[in-house]
Amino acid sequence: MQDTYIFQPIAVVNSPYKEKFGIPRQPGLAETVTSSITLLPEFSTQEIVRGLENCSHIWLLFVFSECLEKGWKPTVRPPRLGGNKRIGVFSSRSPFRPNPIGLSPVKLINIEITEGCTTLFISGADLLDGTPILDIKPYLPYSDSLPEASFPFAENIKLLQQTIFFSESALSTLATEERRLAQPIKNQITELLRCDPRPAYKKNDPDKSYGVKLHDLNIRFRITDEHIYVDLIEVTRQA
């Protein structure tokens, strides 16, 4: 058996997620957030994606590129278990793995081919901007969906149900930025915050303010037992 395998990225992700903090921990949790995948020049041909337009969903195999230098450990503390209980890395979706490879199913919206550039538009991705893609595969409903599957550590997703309040300042910025970006920013922020991006060990501090990056915006928010507050939306783009 060969000891080492070398894989070449075939594409790169263009995502509104500009930093790891705040990205949904699983795909499909923020369906209104759209991203795109640009095939690298040597793979950017019409033939290579022929027939893919018939897929409603696709699998993406990618590299946790921001974790390459941080190594891995045999056990991890998943946020899903409160950040305190350790389980084996192979029992988790941790990005810190012996081989930092991820797998995400996403919705395929459209394929655009212009002047030798092939771009796939997708929604529901949980990928950082600039993530290298190793492979793209069709999602097959008859074999990839397994209703009888179970895993007691993660039987279902628990989204936050608190009422979300946007400050007057945040609403004012939203009105401008939704027009500029042509994106449903308010809905996207709502989906992201209901996934509760806070570190597990800080969830008992209702006064703690956090910032999550989306597009070129910094969303400042707080979460209490009763409410989610979006206090400020700052534009971070360069002048």
Write the pLDDT tens digit of every residue in 80-134. 666 678 889 998 888 889 999 999 999 999 999 988 899 999 999 999 999 999 9
Axis crossing angle, helix 185-194 with helix 168-181, rounded to the nearest 10:
120
Q: Cα-flanking dihedrals φ and ψ of residue 3, to 5°?
A: -80, -35
- Tell me how far apart the alpha carbons of residues 226 and 158 are, in angstroms, rounded to a whole number: 16
- Tell me how far apart the alpha carbons of residues 80 and 88 are, in angstroms, rounded to a whole number: 14
Calculate what percentage of the chain has a pLDDT beyond 70. 96
pTM above 0.75, yes or no: yes
Query: How many Cβ atoms from other residues are within 10 Å of residue 75's Cβ?
Result: 13
Q: Average pLDDT over the chain, rounded to whole?
A: 90
Nearest to 192 by CA among 151, 221, 156: 221
Looking at the predicted structure, is the pLDDT value of residue 239 above 60? Answer: no
Calculate what percentage of the chain has a pLDDT beyond 90. 66
- Tell me how far apart the alpha carbons of residues 81 and 84 are, in angstroms, rounded to a whole number: 7
* pLDDT score for 238: 56
Looking at the predicted structure, is the pLDDT value of residue 201 above 90? Answer: no
Return the sign of the alpha-carbon dihedral for residues 214, 138, 131, 98: positive
- Tell me how far apart the alpha carbons of residues 153 and 134 are, in angstroms, rounded to a whole number: 28
* pLDDT score for 80: 67
* pLDDT score for 64: 92
List domains and CATH numbers for the chain. Answer: 11-151 (2.40.30.70), 163-235 (3.30.2310.20)
